[in-house]
Structure 1
């Protein structure tokens, strides 16, 4: 969706410089576009990594009986739409790692034609091609299309929301209004950061209605509010989550996170391809928001911004600023994957920037963006693994015997590894001793602060008795400072020196130690 500003809904406005034309691409151009799209689809359909924490939690919640899913989500802190869609998907397609990720792959592929249609609305054929290619080669979009989480759904819904709102502002009507309301509700029920975008869009539409004395933007807000009625059944769970779950695993970010977010969108890290794509995207977004005309080596800018890119750029910037400000006030953590709610709008601004340029300049710049994006996306998807859980599980399957106890410290290491182990092992999490399949985020920090690793270790060793104890742990998790080390020390004092099997590997986003203690010896005569 885009914030409404006077004139910005006239997305049919020609954005190419006079005389540049919007000619059809030749056969080689069509072939090049097709190749990039095919490559973009290929980047979205497979990842060699095991499910990491968040994915495993999603799959485990969706594996519950339908009546139990809302209660599990209430303690998890997530909204319900993706979990419910995944619930149905698992029962039709399957629950293997590949099968559950295919849902996100399908949604990620579906976003490509939606981006092309949105780009066409904004800048004609040139905008359509640019939006399609920028999203197809986006490292961020490709990565989250291979993850069993809601982010590819968010990207698709934002594009659909933009199309629905633009269609309503062009030709107001009940059917288009209903589409605006449905996409509003779907976004709010998919990821809570969508609420920041919806607030910005609603505010922009009301400002536009007041300034231009125009009714359609105000009526669009009414349809958005009507769609919000569908959120009301979930409202009690949302308020409970706000009060009790939160994000105890991380800290809020400063406003410099806006710039670092663009780096993450470009693939993250310091690879040359990432740095090139970051620079190109910022350049194109600046042109899309403010360029008036371009010819030869000359570009004329209007610092007040120019439609249609101005409204999109304001929506992106205001949403990020609002989200970061609320995070600083409430202490909520920031993670770049949350910004999937504005990534498609940012790419649309960049697509407008491509269309602002003469073809002789815009085509090479777009080609640089596509090549550098693909160069970052390929290692992100096919080389870098999300979790070390598979290596830990392999070591346990080779060494552990039926009846052995596996304990996870913190509990956040449990969901990814436990699903890969046989049911003959007894598995639990520190400090609650509960099941490792999910994480109970309710009052999480307070619970962990009050934990006693020494007492837990003594009880664990006694309960394990003549079975070995295996500890999957890491020392760098918030709210567990020193506790996993203390637990390991207690087990060592009771059972002797441990056998180290796996050390944390920095190549993984989620890594862990694995150590084991031999069974207690039976007392002699």
Structure 2
């Protein structure tokens, strides 16, 4: 009843003053009914587009599956080479033990996390600024293309978004009544976030800095002590993985990415709205406009006394955290991927919901209608796209022609896992430059290993290993390889003349592969 009354309030705000009562209640009832249907439809579509995807699993998803399926001791060792914390992989490990490893089943875990975020978003928004804010938060989260995209990906980002919402809820409870039990919950959630994705540290750091500033402004030194204890508690929760984290910090990093730069900001805002195109641009602009409205200096009669404080906290937790993350990544010459910001898009959307809640009835409804249309315009096509990787097509082509004694050789190794997933298990496969197995990528000292590789030696070893044909799978433009993959193709062509390009790169896909077939080894060629 409370939720329906909040919708009623939206309609009540939009009534035109001065009209006689006759007929007004009938029109209001019809409008309320239409609004309820519209919200239910938007949320239903938001749920539906989170539950499936036509695309094959791309590199990151396949790595998640291949690591999570390992026995637990091996799983932790594999993560040391991968560069991620363990919690999501442990959850996926248990999930796959029950539901299997098909594309649909491994993605469903993220779908459930994302769907669970919707009622939490409503509840958190309602706690922040009342029922209107709750409904606005629900719509904004339901149709956000960024969150929809990662609801159908076998990675930790949907879980990160859910945990961030839960952390916001727990932090708000502490703000209202800072009991020991509530601080423990905040501390526990902070540690769990760190065990899920390292970039959540920037959100937690931004939140901590804001609390310190508020404590100083309000002359509440005890609050700083409570915050410090909560931070220590989060580190205690994280501590079982501390050794793995320190190893990753020294040996893995992001060798696949360029150094972070200032374009991270506009790129992130664009991708939060869905990526390229005028619809995505419009979505981003509307959300930013709602964010600005949260700070416009007018007061509604139902603005709570803490609304501005809440808005500043959300601003710091979203854009402030993004600034901290980008600056630190740039300073340590680390790479950046927009998917890391799943802990930052959530407070940004909550802040936009605060802005929407401050509008009058018709303006608020109009803004949410625009958000819903633009968001669904970007989100509804996402499950039907098959553009993440060419890997399944590549595997089908090779499987149709490969025979005993053949070798599938991948250069670089980063294109191997998602092709390997769809290849027959008995087909010999290896990656450049290690000639090791294709299921995972070893990121340990990655740049140094690739730069010291000998193309000729590796080509000769691969040619000697394969008594049948060699299927060379390549893709250009990967960092740390230079022209090694092109050189490998030329050397193999000299060792085994008569190579034939049987598949070209397809620009439709994010991850694309070319395939060159080299004939079986002859006595002369060897």
Give the alignment's TM-score, normalised by structure 1.
0.91
Deviation at 1:137, TM superposition (A): 0.3
2:154 equivalent among 148, 152, 173: 148
Which residue of 2 is the match for residue 3 of structure 1? none
Specify every segment of 5 or more residues in structure 1 that has no aligned partner in the other structure, as ranges. Answer: 1-15, 296-304
3-state secondary structure, aligned to 2:130: helix
1:38-83 Cα shifts (integer Å, max 9, x gaps): 1001110001111111110110001100121111101100001101
The answer as to whether partners of 1:500 and 1:516 remain within 8 angstroms in 2 is: yes
Query: 1:294 and 1:268 mapped to 2: Cα distance?
Result: 34
C-alpha distance in structure 2 between counterparts of 1:372 and 1:384, whole Å: 21
1:265 aligns with 2:267: no
Distance 1:425 1:522 in 2: 23
Cα displacement (A) at 1:453: 1.1
Give the whole-Å Cα distance in 2 for the aligned partners of 1:508 and 1:213: 56
Q: CA deviation at 1:223?
A: 2.0
Q: 1:378 aligns with which of 374, 377, 380?
A: 380
* 1:247 is aligned to 2:249: no
Q: Partner of 2:109 in structure 1?
A: 103
Does the aligned pair in 1 maintain the 2:14–2:362 contact within 8 Å? no
- 2:448 corresponds, among 429, 446, 449, to 446
Structure 1 residue 179, shift from structure 2 partner: 1.2
- Whole-angstrom distance in 2 between the partners of 1:218 and 1:313: 24
Distance 1:493 1:221, change over 3 A: same
Alignment map for 1:2-401 (pairs within 5 Å): 20=13, 26-214=32-220, 215-216=222-223, 218-270=225-277, 272-293=278-299, 306-401=308-403
Q: Could you tell me how far apart the structure 2 residues matched to 1:513 and 1:495 are?
A: 18
Q: Conserved in 1, the CA contact under 8 Å of 2:392 and 2:422?
A: yes
CA distance in 2, matches of 1:238, 1:308: 33
- Aligned twin of 2:483: 482
Q: CA 1:275–1:394 in structure 2 vs 1: closer, same or farther (change >3 Å)?
A: same
Structure 2: distance between partners of 1:61 and 1:126? 43
Residue 491 of structure 1 corresponds to 492
The alpha carbon displacement at 1:216 in A equals 4.4
Please give the alpha-carbon distance, in whole angstroms, between the structure 1 residues aligned to 2:375 and 2:318. 20
Deviates more, 1:253-262 or 1:47-56: 253-262
Q: How has the CA–CA distance of structure 1 residues 83 and 291 changed in structure 2, closer, same or farther, with 3 Å as cutoff?
A: farther
Q: Alpha-carbon deviations, 1:338-396, whole Å to 9, x = none?
A: 11110110000100110111111111111111111111112333224211101101101
Change (3 A) 1:384 1:398: closer
Deviation per residue, 1:71-129 (Å, 9 max, x gap): 11011000011011111111011111110000000000000111111110112111011
Deviation at 1:217, TM superposition (A): 6.0
Question: Which residue is equivalent to 1:301?
Answer: none
Q: Deviations for 1:19-54, whole angstroms, at most 9, x for unmatched residues?
A: 959999822211111111110011100011111111
In the alignment, structure 2 segments of 5+ residues that lack a partner are 1-8, 16-27, 302-306
Is the contact between residue 290 and residue 309 of structure 1 (CA under 8 Å) also seen in structure 2?
no
Deviation track 1:467-511 (CA, whole Å, cap 9, x = no partner) reads: 000011111100011000000001111111322222111121111
Give the match for residue 18 of structure 2: none
- Cα displacement (A) at 1:291: 4.6
Task: For residues 419-462 of structure 1, give each alpha carbon's deviation from its aligned partner in whole angstroms, at most 9, with x where no partner exists.
Answer: 11112210010000111000000000010000111221112112
Q: Deviations over 1:281-335 (max 9, x none)?
A: 110111124453479xxxxxxxxx9332122112212211111111111111111
Distance 1:216 1:169 in 2: 10
CA contact (8 A) 1:165 1:220 kept: no
Match of 1:5 in 2: none
Q: In the TM superposition, what is the alpha-carbon distance from 1:221 to its structure 2 partner?
A: 4.2
| SS of residue paired to 2:502 | strand
Query: For residue 468 of structure 1, what is the aligned residue in structure 2?
Result: 469
- Conservation of the 8 A alpha-carbon contact between 2:207 and 2:313: no
Tell me the number of residue pairs that the alignment of Structure 1 and Structure 2 aligns. Answer: 497
- Aligned to 1:392, what secondary structure does the other structure show? helix
